[in-house]
Chain A
Amino acid sequence: GAGVSQSPSNKVTEKGKDVELRCDPISGHTALYWYRQSLGQGLEFLIYFQGNSAPDKSGLPSDRFSAERTGGSVSTLTIQRTQQEDSAVYLCASSLVGGDNEQFFGPGTRLTVL
């Protein structure tokens, strides 16, 4: 079946603009994660959604970052007033919940802030 998909694959924006990144998880996966991969910080957790529970936002680096998950499926990560340090690859992953279920990663969105 289809894996995790993300769009766009690349996004170039100007400093100060808002951007939206989209993630389509694997059908039936109730857990969804956002991570960020950057040269300076490596791979870091941003936010986690699980079913109807309140999301774990503990990894969001600032209040310019927000995410939502509509209908328990598609998720959008929004970065407001982008800064150059936001440049990174944003990865989405999904999994079944419970035990130690494998997280399946999407191909990522490469964000470049000029």
Chain B
Amino acid sequence: GDSVTQMEGPVTLSEEAFLTINCTYTATGYPSLFWYVQYPGEGLQLLLKATKADDKGSNKGFEATYRKETTSFHLEKGSVQVSDSAVYFCALSDRFGNEKLTFGTGTRLTIIP
């Protein structure tokens, strides 16, 4: 079945550091890929998505590129801020079945001023 493997956390970085959170997937067909974020005390919300190979999703300075050849969708940000502290989830959905999301385990990110 479909699965998502995500970089284990927690991750602690200083403000303005470069961020990479690794995500790889296993899926039949051509899934859509997502990054969701859960800020402290808030609900899960979509950060960015990509629906086909080589697409780049971007939002709030975060980027991720759909790499079919390496089955990866790594999340990056060039300069993190304290407000980026949250739990980040990589996820996929099967576009040709129902659109349920299969999530990775989540990575807790803490940014230190």
Which chain B residue lies CB-closest to A101?
A: B99
Cβ–Cβ contact B106 & A31, under 8 A: no
A79 at the A/B interface (Cβ < 8 Å)?
no
Cβ–Cβ contact A44 & B103, under 8 A: yes
Cβ–Cβ contact B102 & A105, under 8 A: no
* B24 vs chain A, min Cβ distance (A): 16
Q: Could you tell me the distance between the alpha carbons of A97 and B98 in the complex, rounded to whole angstroms? A: 9
Cβ–Cβ contact B49 & A56, under 8 A: no
B82 at the A/B interface (Cβ < 8 Å)?
no
Cβ–Cβ contact B98 & A56, under 8 A: yes
B112 at the A/B interface (Cβ < 8 Å)?
no
Instruction: Among A100, A105, A106, point to the contact of B99 (Cβ < 8 A).
Output: A100
Q: Could you tell me the distance between the alpha carbons of A103 and B107 in the complex, rounded to whole angstroms? A: 20
- Cβ–Cβ < 8 Å partners of B101 in chain A: 33, 35, 43, 45, 103
Q: Which of A57-111 contact B (CB under 8 A)?
A: 59, 91, 93, 95, 97, 100-103, 105-108
Q: Which of B32-46 contact A (CB under 8 A)?
A: 32, 42-46
Q: Could you tell me the distance between the alpha carbons of A50 and B100 in the complex, rounded to whole angstroms? A: 11
- Cβ–Cβ < 8 Å partners of A56 in chain B: 98, 100
Which chain B residue lies CB-closest to A59?
A: B100
Which chain A residue lies CB-closest to B42?
A: A107
Seen from chain A, the residues whose Cβ lies within 8 Å of a Cβ on chain B are: 31, 33, 35, 42-45, 48, 50, 56, 59, 91, 93, 95, 97, 100-103, 105-108
Seen from chain B, the residues whose Cβ lies within 8 Å of a Cβ on chain A are: 32, 42-46, 49, 51, 89, 91, 93, 95, 98-106
